[in-house]
Chains A and B, each alone.
Chain A
Amino acid sequence: MTGLLTSWGEWLPRLLEGLVTSVELTAASLLLGIPLGLVLALLSSSRTRAVRWAAIALVEIGRGTPALVMLQFVYYGLPSAGLSLTAFVSAVAALSLTTAGYTSEILRGGLQAVPAGETEAAGALGMSHRDTLRFVVVPQGVRIALPSLMGFAILIFQATSLTFTISVVELLSQAYSIGAATFRYLDVLVLAGLLYLAVTIPAGLLTNRTERRLSRHL
């Protein structure tokens, strides 16, 4: 037992380094992906058919393609088309697209949950369509969608482990290379698992709390 703890102590700094990369990947993918998801959610109910279809197509590609395939496509596929990105940038690009696809559906649900009467009232007051979205629909829709968005953020954090396959040095990749050097895969993977849990469990609790807080005014 002390042997295991000593080893874990030795491995921890490298694993924490990997964890930081995982968290950075998650943050970057969410920061790019969620705004893109919101734009797609708004465009997918556009009155112009071409715009609506283009948005729906992007959403379906983002959602329908497995994250692993998306990662391989960006990192190994795009260089053949003349676009070479670093592993980290490829990972952010791929996970952002996945995020955008999923969150646009989550956000669209939130936007649609805003009572139609309020949109009508804003129209009757003479507010433009754009102002109605900006001040009435989007703030409430995002609030409604927030708990689901936070739940999705936890999933995308877990999905960062897939970037190990395109040689991003994140948590799983660090654990794997320690395992390869020591042959103690089980021990190091348990520690890696605990580190994932150290992020996902508090994040889950935070999601629940946010859900309760947000239901106050609505």
Chain B
Amino acid sequence: MSAVAQEPAVVLDRIHKQFGDLVVVRDVSLTVARGEVVAIIGPSGSGKSTLLRCINLLERADSGRVEVVGRAVEPGAGVAGRDLAALRRSVGMVFQSFNLFPHMTVLRNVSLPQERVLGRSRAEADARSRQLLERVGLAAKADTYPSRCSGGQQQRVAIARALALDPEVMLFDEPTSALDPELGLEVLAVMRELAADGMTMVVVTHEIHFAADVADRVVVMADGAVLEEGTPEQVLRSPSTERARRFLSAVVDR
């Protein structure tokens, strides 16, 4: 492998984030290799979503360094508009609440960012959109509005919308938490496929089975810090800290 291919996809270096006096992320470092799938699990309020949002600068870390495919920024020292745009272009994100644009058809939702961000023509963008909608199993929904789609379908559209910009890393922020279990499965199936195709993924989730089956590495967070980190085998079967054991027994044994 060449040096470029070995360079990690994401490097978080001593990320610290607090809201007022509340420290949400405490000097967390994390490296994600290209093609790796990392699942971040942990109790609510453990800072896992905030950490994820620090990667694409939806939250600006107070201190620390964020590096995505070789481009580094120090959010605490300010971020130039050009760096922000470059970083956002290489990172796709899927939210818990889908966040589709309700006044646009499914097709427009997927095509508009391609036209505005990548400068693709309407025809090029639509062709790519239809191809991606096909891939997430929603070719037939292209001309409907998001409100006519189930939650699971909306989330798959959101995935297609992010993929349409050819990101190098995909971030998932509890993508199935707002869905009932059956609809969640559709979304997880798309994510499994994406992982199998070699996409670099960072997934904040409560889906312990997904973490066990799909992730290359599982990170357990609590109180703004990383408690455990390792292969799903290690972390889920034999956690080394008491706090992680308690959390895992709550999610695994239910």
Contacts and interface: CB of A to CB of B under 8 A. Distances in A.
A170 to B, nearest CB: 38
Given A124-B93, A125-B88, A126-B113, A118 B101 contact: yes
Contacts of B79: none
Interface string A64-91: 0000000000000000000000000000
Contacts of A131: 116
A144 to B, nearest CB: 10
Contacts of A139: 103
B162 interface: yes
Q: Chain B interface mostly helix, strand, loop or mixed?
A: mixed
A135 B113 CA distance: 10
Given A121-B101, A124-B56, A125-B88, 16 more contacts: A117-B99, A118-B101, A120-B95, A122-B113, A123-B88, A124-B58, A124-B88, A125-B92, A125-B93, A125-B113, A125-B165, A127-B116, A128-B85, A131-B116, A217-B102, A218-B147
Interface string A131-148: 100011001100100000
B99 A118 contact: yes
B101 A125 contact: no
B58 A126 contact: no
Q: How large is the interface on B (under 10, 10 to 19, 20 to 34, 35 or more residues)?
A: 20 to 34
A126 B56 CA distance: 10
A140 B93 CA distance: 22
A135 B102 CA distance: 12
A108 to B, nearest CB: 19
B97 interface: yes
Interface residues of A, number: 20
Q: Which of B85, B91, B101, B161: most chain A Cβ within 10 A?
A: B101
Nearest to A120: B58
Contacts of A118: 99-102
Interface in B26-73: 56, 58
Given A121-B95, A126-B85, A136 B165 contact: no
Contacts of B103: 139-140, 143, 217-218
B206 interface: no
22 contacts: A118-B99, A118-B101, A120-B99, A121-B93, A121-B99, A121-B100, A121-B101, A122-B101, A124-B56, A125-B88, A125-B92, A125-B113, A126-B85, A127-B117, A128-B85, A131-B116, A139-B103, A140-B101, A140-B103, A217-B103, A217-B145, A217-B147
A181 B119 CA distance: 68
Contacts of A124: 56, 58, 88, 91-93, 95, 162
A114 B42 CA distance: 31
A126 B165 CA distance: 9
A193 interface: no
A135 B109 CA distance: 11
A122 B113 CA distance: 8
A115 B85 CA distance: 22
B14 interface: no
Interface of B: 56, 58, 85, 88-89, 91-93, 95, 97, 99-103, 112-113, 116-117, 145, 147, 158, 161-162, 165
A44 to B, nearest CB: 23
A126 B88 contact: yes
A126 B147 contact: no
Contacts of A128: 85, 116
A121 B147 CA distance: 17
Given A125-B162, A140-B103, A135 B116 contact: yes
Nearest to B56: A124
Nearest to B171: A124
A118 B99 CA distance: 5
Nearest to B117: A126
Contacts of B99: 115, 117-118, 120-121
Nearest to B97: A117
A127 B101 contact: no
A125 B104 CA distance: 16
Contacts of B101: 118, 121-122, 135-136, 140
B179 to A, nearest CB: 16
A139 B113 CA distance: 16
A119 to B, nearest CB: 9
A210 to B, nearest CB: 15
